[in-house]
Structure 1
């Protein structure tokens, strides 16, 4: 069994640790780094996983999962670079940062896998897109799929698609939260109590997502048409969405997020 170190135990890092434990990993196979001692003590008490410093993690772990913010990557790489090589696997969950950034800083031959997860990892429903760097093999990718499969679904994509994946899947939950917030506010405007409005909208979203994923018919346009009766209430609502350019606005939002992801990568070139 591989020993895994999660570098950065924020919400995403903690969720991965919890998912690995639920999937059958022993606490002794896991370790984590965390700059705040109170947070580290909390996680060790909760999960029984050892808190270590970064050099110890780099020395002892077979797989290092980097779960820090992109702006914190440079000092972290300064610490781990002298300690990594082809016998270790680095899995980066840093938005926007390409595999070649890590490969430039690490010993020649160090395998790197770039991952774009999203926050539904907190409830075991993540969508993680993975791409192998120059030295990552199918075995490395399979190991990453196994680890990330403990907290949701995993898909392989070419790395050149990762900025678009970041915009669609990494940022995607925020767009849905935004829509639920707006629809809830609309319900309040129409006289529905806020708690009831939220419950109605959230369950509609849950049901719609389940139909898209698990239903016999899962094409969004066909599902929308099935709800949209001629001259009915849904048709009136869709007309207003089209009038206000909601489809175009969503396209612009995804493109803006894609461009920002690319900027984050270029900032470290």
Structure 2
């Protein structure tokens, strides 16, 4: 790609038992502002790759860089990365406003600034009227929007999403796809998005990296994947 690399995974491998490689000699570059999906079946290495980028797993070999800086030795909260999980991971005992404020409080942002940012984040996802409710009082779609606001409230360089829409029904999933695409466009976010849903990846992404057996089989734009699949796995998986 002509754009400089913002996220760089270079020769990254991961093994848990010293024998089997879950991620095998992986190379991937993501440009600033790009939306890249990691697409593949269960067990293909895509979520492990995302977790290494987030800092919840460490690579066995290779290096990971963000904006030129090594990330390998940095804990998750020092990586300037927002994370959205499939199961929302909201704190049930906190209000929606408190949940969204949590990343700011652990970063010691002042009270007044926290309040202003939380207000802005809840307006962005169009839920300011629910600020004082608890997660259990919200629908699944509303909870996922809150999880998205929490990931964005501290203005991270990168947002990682791990099957974020997997628990939603079809109608809600499509609504949230457009919501995420809108935020990506309006905020110029850099997003790395894990999914096993081909239609979702091809609809939302600037580029898709197709995973199988811990390796990227092909990383290309959706149209390139369709018109020029590099092997039989990609040709079959894109359907």
TM-score scaled by structure 2?
0.29
TM-score scaled by structure 1?
0.27
**Rg bigger for which structure?**
1
Greater helix proportion:
1
Greater strand proportion:
2
